[in-house]
Structure 1
Amino acid sequence: MMSNSPLRLATAAATLLVPLWAFAQRQTLESGGYFRAGPGATKKDASRACYGLSGAGLKYRLGNECDFYGEFLFSTKMKADTVDYAINVMPKLYNGGTDSGSSKLEMQQMFVEGKGFDVAPDVKFWAGKRFYRRADVHIVDTHYIDLSGVGAGASDIRVGPGHLALGWFRNDGGDLANPVLVDDDNDPLTPPVRPGTRHGTRFNVDYADLPVNPGGTLRLLGTFVRSDGDDGAGGRNGLGFSAVHEQARLFGTDLTNQVWLQHARGSAGLNGNFGTPTATSGVRSTRLIDSIVWQQGGFGGQAQVMFQTDRDEAGVKVDSGTVGGRVSYALTRHFKLVSEAGYSQRKADGGATQKLAKFTLAPTLSTGPGFWNRPELRLYVTTAKWNDAANAAAGTGGVTGIGDNATKGTSYGAQVEVWW
């Protein structure tokens, strides 16, 4: 990932896209993606401000996204002998503010996936860098399961009534956030100067689509991590487990309900990915989530309740929790009123409880009346309140980053969100 001036950014984008365009002249090139963008400001005339506590699932996103973000997938499907395969490339563009003047450009996905190999005709095999088997709660922009990375694997392996997926991933290192300095010359008269690196191997076993009751399926995910490096910390192992039950037509209604139970220890992440590479087995996290989504005529929405507990090596515990939801009501086929409310809190042992509540109202134009219809063009007003403990935990800038010690705020703006 790198920062670019507008000219360098345009040059980099052209370098990526022109070969794709040339390739498209010879093959059928499909596109997909996602982006969000739009202007925003605050009641106090700051450029913009967003409101949330640190931690997964604790920030509700409607009228509360201060960034400029886009994913652009280019894919072509081909056939050779009995093998059907797809070539996939996805650049990603990100800017933490309103415009793209200092954006960061990254190759987010680059992989090949194929099916029809004679050794296992019904199994999909892949290798490269990719988004992989992610599961999220949209309103908080959090993938509670996210196996993405650089690796290889196989999926759609029929085992009993469900499907098995196996994935092997590598993290080839990089400086730690707080690296241990390594003394390469072993000279006691010279200080260690090079930040040690830490590499990791991850193996995921994912068994999904297991029918357990009428309309209900179960997903079971195991994560195994081994972290090594030359930073003197020794090897670190990690284990993780997730169980997700999805119930369609809950109580005979249009509600779909998901219950998630997750646990991780050591260097494994709670989302099934890599965690902190130097974490020992004393580092543990547990999370419980209940999320629902519905659409009844023009009335749709999504809501969640989440609780999480984290413990560090010293046994210090941090408890987090949140409850919130978003509802949309279609007044006409293309005009909806959308609102979102959420409350989050977070407390470490011996510390004060951080608290934050937000509410957003957003008149919205859309291509259809459903909750998931996109694109949406929104006007929004967001108001939030939080306490001094939340400001202190966020650092010198406080929750908003403005640094005015305020404990409430109002933002307004416009946003487009689209996926295709």
Structure 2
Amino acid sequence: MSFVLTRRPLAIAVTVALLGPGSALADQNQSIEQRLAELEARVTASERRASQAEQRAAQAEAALQKQQNSPQLVQQSAGEEELSAGSIPSQVREEEGEGEGLSMSVYARSGLLIGSDRKSAPGGPYLTPAGRSGGAVGRLGNEPDTYVETVFDYNQRFENGAHSLYRIMLADGTTTSNDWTADESQLNVRQAFVEFSDLPSFTGAFENASIWAGKRFDRDNFDIHWLDSDIIFLAGTGAGIYDISVTDSWDTSFSLYGRSFSNYPVVTDEQPQLEGDTDNLILTSNNRFGPWQWMVSGMSANDNDERDNDPRGGIPGDNVADNGFHTMLAYHGDSFFGMGEGTFKTALMYGHGLGGEVKALGSDGNLTEDANTARLAIYGTTYLAPKWRLAPALLAQTSHDRYADGDRYDWVTLSARLANELTENFEMQYEASYQWMDLDPSGYGYEDGNGNEQVFQSVNGGYTKLTIAPTFKPQVGGFWNRPEIRLFATWSDWDEDLNNFSNNDALGSDEFTGSEWTFGTQMEVWF
């Protein structure tokens, strides 16, 4: 029983004392029993809020204790299709508190990258030919851009215990080094949504569920920060429900996202080319079984198969996908592959048709109806010694019939970030990356905005990058401590054949054909 019911005489006395005899006579139509019921409801809501506050405090205390006992796990939390467009690492986002009122979080980086000729140098994690199909390489000492995103959250707790979150994210990115970049600005609202949780009327399997609607990054996205690559990135505009408890060990979530394919040429009998557009609708079921995650998605984009592919190098236009599916099986480990303290994550993905873009889910409207893609992602974090930490990663993909019949995009990236914490404010960071690729575009190409046709060539070979980066920070310790300021020197080399993939990319361009040295400085911050 509640506090009110077990102490009814006392509650009646308190109520009469508060209301006064005059008020009681004036409100004869409202019985004392009704007032007691209202008082009981308020007490119950207060008890619920107190219980939730105790749970949050216990979680925070447990996290602090874990941090103090295990320096390897100082991974607190503070999310593009590539991280070059997004942001605070998933390990940081996973432990965000909800608080109340208005709060702000930030991810930002800004760097200068110059070659040995003292000119600006090409860079970026997707620099290689494999980058066009998602093949990222290590990002340390390899980013020439300025990217900023700011998230504003407004959290509100209601008297009945319900909670609401409103979020808006502003983002901008540019590669120019100037202080005034309005002409190159890509300022954009990347998220604008509202989410409700702790709803008292949600009971049974829905007791811990939350609902949302708007434009957002899906909560269950996660990434390999050191490659600037999401493992899975689901985003768009739509609605969903999180955390339906099917059983004690099985939670499921459902979402419907829309992504727009627009401004592409279509063919009709009356007029050869018109501008078309359609929405790709993505229906997803995301299931969690303890550390296991199983994700299944179906996609449909009506009229997308009417797109005219001729500007892409003479490829027939009747094989573009207008539907597809995607699935992912992932494991989120709480140790370093069972060998010691740390973390690891691994995911195996497969997609067909519009699901053939297995990372940035539903974002590529050029995929054929026969496209098939499989990808494996593995990475971990651990301390090798009290002052030495290591973060290895593997990312591999095979894809065929992706954009043209008979094409093939196969690549594997191996990367490792190593850091040596020398003082409280200084550490040395090192990164090594190797990427092997075997790409056969099978005549696929495209027409750029200036009417120039670009056709890709088959290439095979490897790309190597080595970076050393002296790094300053207010306090070292842990993989996710920021902000930091880095100086760096990077050496990269690649097989000559890779220069032939395209006459419109960095590799093979003037004075950038292999065995390149680049130097620079960069800041990175999140909170």
Question: Normalised by the size of structure 2, how large is the TM-score?
Answer: 0.68
Q: How far apart are the structure 2 equivalents of 1:405 and 1:267?
A: 35
Aligned partner (choices 352, 360, 363) of residue 265 of structure 1: 352
Which letter maps to 2:525?
V
Q: Is the Cα–Cα contact under 8 Å of residues 88 and 109 in structure 1 kept in the other structure? A: yes
Q: Is the Cα–Cα contact under 8 Å of residues 111 and 521 in structure 2 kept in the other structure? A: yes
Aligned residue for 2:391, secondary structure, equals strand
Note the aligned Cα RMSD (angstroms).
2.2
Aligned partner (choices 109, 119, 126) of residue 36 of structure 1: 109
Shift of 1:202: 0.4
**Number of residue equivalences:** 379
Q: How far apart are the structure 2 equivalents of 1:257 and 1:116?
A: 31
1:352-367 to 2 correspondence within 5 Å?
A: 352-366=459-473, 367=475
Q: Is the Cα–Cα contact under 8 Å of residues 359 and 384 in structure 1 kept in the other structure? A: yes
Q: How far apart are the structure 2 equivalents of 1:381 and 1:196?
A: 46
Q: What residue is the counterpart of 1:248 in the other structure? A: 334
Answer with 335-344 or 254-263: which moved more: 254-263
Q: What residue is the counterpart of 2:426 in the other structure? A: 335
Q: How far apart are the structure 2 equivalents of 1:135 and 1:73?
A: 18
Which letter maps to 1:369?
G
Which letter maps to 1:389?
D
Aligned partner (choices 197, 205, 209) of residue 123 of structure 1: 209
Q: What residue is the counterpart of 2:192 in the other structure? A: 110
1:343-358 to 2 correspondence within 5 Å?
A: 343-349=434-440, 351-358=458-465
Q: Is the Cα–Cα contact under 8 Å of residues 305 and 321 in structure 2 kept in the other structure? A: no
Q: Is the Cα–Cα contact under 8 Å of residues 308 and 320 in structure 1 kept in the other structure? A: yes
Q: Greater share of strand residues, 1 or 2? A: 1
Please give the per-residue CA displacement for 1:242-290, whole angstroms capped at 9, x wherever unaligned: 1112332233511322221110000123126104335344100001222
When residues 394 and 31 of structure 1 are mapped into structure 2, their CA distance, relative to the original with a 3 A threshold, is farther
When residues 182 and 45 of structure 1 are mapped into structure 2, their CA distance, relative to the original with a 3 A threshold, is farther
Q: Is the Cα–Cα contact under 8 Å of residues 182 and 230 in structure 1 kept in the other structure? A: no
Shift of 1:355: 1.9
Please give the per-residue CA displacement for 1:47-90, whole angstroms capped at 9, x wherever unaligned: 23316312324221001011110110011111345321011111
- Do structure 1's residue 98 and structure 2's residue 189 form an aligned pair? no
Ranges in structure 1 where 5+ consecutive residues have no aligned partner: 1-26, 212-216
Aligned residue for 1:293, secondary structure, equals strand
Which letter maps to 1:180?
V
When residues 347 and 86 of structure 1 are mapped into structure 2, their CA distance, relative to the original with a 3 A threshold, is same
Dislocated runs of 4+, deviation >6 Å:
none
Q: What residue is the counterpart of 1:78 in the other structure? A: 156
Q: How far apart are the structure 1 equivalents of 2:268 and 2:103?
A: 47
Shift of 1:42: 1.1
Q: What residue is the counterpart of 1:137 in the other structure? A: 224
Answer with 337-346 or 228-237: which moved more: 228-237
Aligned partner (choices 254, 277, 286) of residue 206 of structure 1: 286
- Do structure 1's residue 409 and structure 2's residue 523 form an aligned pair? no
Q: What residue is the counterpart of 1:370 in the other structure? A: 478
Q: How far apart are the structure 2 equivalents of 1:284 and 1:391?
A: 27
When residues 144 and 182 of structure 1 are mapped into structure 2, their CA distance, relative to the original with a 3 A threshold, is farther
Q: Is the Cα–Cα contact under 8 Å of residues 113 and 123 in structure 2 kept in the other structure? A: no
Q: What residue is the counterpart of 1:158 in the other structure? A: 245
Q: How far apart are the structure 1 equivalents of 2:333 and 2:304?
A: 47
Aligned residue for 1:196, secondary structure, equals strand
Q: Is the Cα–Cα contact under 8 Å of residues 36 and 417 in structure 1 kept in the other structure? A: yes
Please give the per-residue CA displacement for 1:12-61, whole angstroms capped at 9, x wherever unaligned: xxxxxxxxxxxxxxx93200020001323111121233163123242210
Q: Is the Cα–Cα contact under 8 Å of residues 196 and 231 in structure 1 kept in the other structure? A: no
Which letter maps to 1:318?
Y
Please give the per-residue CA displacement for 1:291-332, whole angstroms capped at 9, x wherever unaligned: 111135222121112221001152322211111110111001
Shift of 1:235: 6.9
Shift of 1:396: 3.6
Which letter maps to 1:78?
Q
Aligned residue for 2:163, secondary structure, equals strand
Q: How far apart are the structure 1 equivalents of 2:460 and 2:141?
A: 25
Q: Greater share of helix residues, 1 or 2? A: 2
Aligned partner (choices 384, 392, 395) of residue 306 of structure 1: 395
Q: Is the Cα–Cα contact under 8 Å of residues 355 and 387 in structure 1 kept in the other structure? A: yes
Q: Is the Cα–Cα contact under 8 Å of residues 398 and 409 in structure 2 kept in the other structure? A: yes
Shift of 1:200: 1.3
Q: Is the Cα–Cα contact under 8 Å of residues 126 and 153 in structure 1 kept in the other structure? A: yes
Please give the per-residue CA displacement for 1:183-217, whole angstroms capped at 9, x wherever unaligned: 6xx3xxxx434222232110111112x23xxxxx2
Answer with 346-355 or 368-377: which moved more: 346-355
- Do structure 1's residue 218 and structure 2's residue 298 form an aligned pair? no
Q: Is the Cα–Cα contact under 8 Å of residues 390 and 398 in structure 1 kept in the other structure? A: no
Which letter maps to 2:465?
K
Q: How far apart are the structure 2 equivalents of 1:171 and 1:397?
A: 27
When residues 150 and 293 of structure 1 are mapped into structure 2, their CA distance, relative to the original with a 3 A threshold, is same
Q: How far apart are the structure 2 equivalents of 1:173 and 1:232?
A: 12
Structure index of larger Rg: 2
Q: How far apart are the structure 2 equivalents of 1:379 and 1:235?
A: 46
Aligned residue for 2:301, secondary structure, equals strand
Q: Is the Cα–Cα contact under 8 Å of residues 398 and 404 in structure 1 kept in the other structure? A: no
Q: How far apart are the structure 1 equivalents of 2:114 and 2:361?
A: 35
Aligned partner (choices 302, 305, 317) of residue 228 of structure 1: 302
Q: How far apart are the structure 2 equivalents of 1:135 and 1:405?
A: 33
Which letter maps to 2:405?
A
% same residue: 24
Q: Is the Cα–Cα contact under 8 Å of residues 459 and 501 in structure 2 kept in the other structure? A: no
Q: What residue is the counterpart of 2:62 in the other structure? A: none
Which letter maps to 2:280?
G
Q: How far apart are the structure 2 equivalents of 1:273 and 1:385?
A: 31
Answer with 77-86 or 236-245: which moved more: 77-86
